[in-house]
Amino acid sequence: MEIFNSLKQSSIVQKFEVLDYKRWRSGRYISLKIMLKDKSLLFVREYLDENERTYSFHWQDKNDKLIVRWDNARHHKDIRTYPHHKHSGKTVTESFEISLGEVLAYIEEYAK
């Protein structure tokens, strides 16, 4: 599964916990809590079936303060990458990071 490959390949992941996992014939749902080496946390939720994919990647610091949250909830229609967008504080911007691997790469670059 792509999510687990991304976790294994990332140099910033310290450990992760599967909070929920459901699989059925045409799809799956997964929820993860990922601790990064800097002690920040990344919460992942992804629902996938043959017709739809919804996701949320919520990255917070060790004091539980939001750093960035990526999702594809169908609001913010003015964003060029709609429905994909990211929240940073009170700001909502376009997002090109739509997979766990891309989000981990963003975080790794951000941390430099």
30 has a pLDDT exceeding 80: yes
SS3 101: helix
| pLDDT given for residue 110 in this prediction | 87
Paired residues of 112 in beta bridges: none
Q: What's the rounded mean pLDDT across residues 69-84?
A: 96
pLDDT at 23 over 80: yes
In this prediction the pTM is 0.94
For residue 1, the model assigns a pLDDT of 77
| Number of other residues whose CB lies within 10 A of the CB of residue 76 | 17
